[in-house]
Copies of this chain bind each other. A is one copy, B any other.
Amino acid sequence: MKFEKILVAEDQEMANISLRRTLEEYQLPAPHYAYYCEHALTALKIALKDEQPFDLLVTDLYFQEDGSGKQLPDAKALIKAAKALQPDLKVLVFSGEGKAAIIRSLYDDYHIDGFVRKARGDAQELKSALECIAKNQRYYGREFRSLAAQENQHTFTDYDRTIIRLLAEGHPQKDIPAWLEDHQIQPSGLSTIEKRLNLIKGAMHFTKNEQLIAFCKDIGIL
């Protein structure tokens, strides 16, 4: 899938160099811009009516208030309205927001497809996010992961760390049960180990052991 029509909702007209450059690099069609929440929603409606709907909305979270009749206080309302209007619309939030609970809520309650924080390295992350979303997958990026760590969405037990360490040392996981028995660590069944790893990876939205190792190195538990 390739994005055909992109809408960028962003009130800082001069900002977002990362965003523009990234879109250009990808040779994506020039996006349409909206500088107010309401305008963004209107643009979506018109496009849909004309049967040339947008397929991606990139939006900031907060907009300056402009005194006018504000039907839409912030981007959350925009996202909710947009998704109601056009359920298949992909939504990527690109914002400076860093609070864990808010980002989590965006994923859980507003069903956004990705969140990238405006910060150092955001261009690189935008790339990954766009690729991911283009493949119809939600993008769980750096922010999401670090907040996962903060929130202790998964707290690593000694048992977890042992298993992960063994993997990082190159033990095939089929050999781990024997090792655990040798060291009188329970439980030692292969199924249990697999289940545990799945639990951890699932909580983190990881799919592969390699990811898990990298993550554990990053947060320093290995």
Residues on B with beta carbons closer than 8 Å to the beta carbon of A218:
217
A45 to nearest B CB, angstroms?
A: 33
Q: Of residues 191 to 222 in A, which have CB atoms within 8 Å of B's CB atoms?
A: 206-211, 213-214, 217-218, 222
Per DSSP, chain A at the interface is: helix
**A180 interface residue, CB < 8 Å from B?**
no
Residues of chain A at interface, number, CB under 8 A: 18
C-alpha gap A23/B201 in the complex (Å): 36
| CB pair B168 A214 closer than 8 Å | yes
Residues on B with beta carbons closer than 8 Å to the beta carbon of A210:
167-168, 170, 209-210, 213
Q: Of residues 144 to 172 in A, which have CB atoms within 8 Å of B's CB atoms?
A: 167-172
| CB pair A214 B211 closer than 8 Å | no
**A16 interface residue, CB < 8 Å from B?**
no
C-alpha gap A36/B209 in the complex (Å): 48
Residues on B with beta carbons closer than 8 Å to the beta carbon of A214:
168-169, 213, 217, 222
| CB pair B222 A170 closer than 8 Å | no
* Given contacts A213-B213, A214-B213, A128 and B169 within 8 Å (CB-CB): yes
- Sample of 14 further A-B pairs with CB below 8 A, known A172-B208, A217-B218: A167-B208, A167-B210, A168-B210, A168-B213, A168-B214, A169-B211, A169-B214, A170-B207, A170-B210, A171-B208, A172-B207, A209-B209, A213-B213, A213-B214
Pairs across A and B, CB under 8 Å, 18 listed:
A167-B210, A168-B214, A169-B211, A169-B214, A170-B207, A170-B208, A170-B211, A171-B208, A209-B209, A209-B210, A210-B210, A210-B213, A213-B213, A213-B214, A214-B217, A214-B222, A217-B217, A217-B218
